[in-house]
Chain A
């Protein structure tokens, strides 16, 4: 117990640093993947057949293969196969590679959620807008968007909570996120060695973060609960 109390502040300080990197990856992924997903969704719904087929194949590949493998390929492929340095060295390079992999992967998942949301708006909504003389963009922004958001909040919150936990996969390319920080104490770090509890303790961070997100999404759902679709 004495030992644990001595180790605790050191471990927490270290895990905090790692968690900052986790949060950074989480935020950057959302900022990139939320809009990119919309672009991909419109691509896969396009009336231009080659474009929609191409987009759907990309989505199939990205959703059909493990994110861990995508991370490894994006990080190592340019250097090992093409003999080009794309990512630069050190933590910044690893972060750039990890963000790229996460943005592409999550954009594909988001795109399918968007597509489902957009296609689930009854065609009568668009037709009502058209006969009232609205333009297509007006129909999208003033009629459909709110209904799409209302429909996609539950699946989105699922996906975003998964993203918080998936950031731990970046450990595979040695990004110094919270798992990496916890694992360091198993070997030896800052005078602590052979301790496994810091790794277990990282779970508390994920839980706390997802608890907050659950509250946030609950609030959004209640905000949009004033009407029914």
Chain B
């Protein structure tokens, strides 16, 4: 069964149609990359999945549960949005770490706030807190920042900040982890460390959706690639075929432009 099914998503900002009839599905443990030029709607699609934007049409189904259906107001209640969001994690292009907290606290904060809602929170406060901290330390260790836990974001490089952001998103154990151009704000020499972390997540069988401009990375890490242009999915399929053997004219154009950029 699919872990995620996106059906006919449609979204407009005013009179501009940003997403038109977007449909795709993915299985547990799969990695889907979304490529396309700026303004093609990739980021808006991720934002719709994370309920930062509300689609005007379509359905989002996770693990068989309809999280959103534009035709069914019962799926759009504001107070349930919060719980539904937790199915997805989102790593932003600009990291968006909380500057006043250490790396460790950045990873722990949301878990701490959620734990307060547990019925046994008062009774087991210390144990819960200790467990959250232990998990946060494990995650930071996993992204290679064991010796940076007590640093504040401004003391970290962009690549380190992005790795903290990945650990922070993982801490809430989302079903599907989304990346919105995770390396676009980084100096070229720092992208490698972030991409390595994402690769290591793939080997953990984590379900991921990655919006990226790193074509080689998308080809190597993905099980499936979606090429978007002008708010529609132009072509999707096997990574090798899409990148090395595109069929659609627009895909060919996009990739050739990309290759000339790479070479220049």
Which residue numbers of A lie inside 8 Å of B, CB to CB?
A: 122, 124-125, 127-135, 138, 142-143, 146-147, 150, 226-229
Query: Does the CB pair B52–A127 fall under 8 Å?
Result: yes
Stretch at the interface among B31-39, B80-88, B241-249: B80-88
Contacts of A132 in B (CB 8 A): 109-110, 168-169, 172
Query: Does the CB pair A227–B99 fall under 8 Å?
Result: yes
Query: Does the CB pair B96–A128 fall under 8 Å?
Result: yes
Tell yes or no: B217 within 8 A of A by CB. no
* Chief secondary structure at chain A's binding surface: helix
Query: Does the CB pair A133–B86 fall under 8 Å?
Result: yes
With A130-B52, A131-B52, A226-B152 as given contacts, are A124 and B92 in contact (CB-CB < 8 Å)? yes
Query: Does the CB pair B92–A127 fall under 8 Å?
Result: yes
Query: Does the CB pair A133–B99 fall under 8 Å?
Result: no
Query: Does the CB pair B90–A131 fall under 8 Å?
Result: yes
Which residue numbers of B lie inside 8 Å of A, CB to CB?
A: 50-52, 82-83, 85-86, 88-90, 92, 94, 96-100, 109-110, 113-114, 152-154, 168-169, 172
Query: Does the CB pair A142–B92 fall under 8 Å?
Result: no
Query: Does the CB pair A130–B99 fall under 8 Å?
Result: no
Question: Please, could you name 23 A-B residue pairs with CB atoms under 8 Å apart, sorted by A?
Answer: A122-B96, A124-B92, A125-B96, A125-B98, A127-B96, A128-B96, A128-B97, A128-B98, A130-B50, A131-B50, A131-B88, A132-B109, A132-B110, A132-B168, A133-B82, A133-B85, A138-B113, A142-B113, A143-B98, A226-B152, A227-B100, A227-B154, A228-B152
Question: Which of A125, A129, A131, A142 has the most chain B CB atoms inside 10 A of its CB?
Answer: A131
Question: Which of B82, B99, B154, B169 has the most chain A CB atoms inside 10 A of its CB?
Answer: B99
Question: Which of B52, B96, B114 interacts with A133 by CB under 8 Å?
Answer: B114
Query: Does the CB pair B100–A147 fall under 8 Å?
Result: yes
Contacts of A128 in B (CB 8 A): 92, 96-98
Contacts of A150 in B (CB 8 A): 100
Nearest chain B residue, comparing its CB with the CB of A123: B96
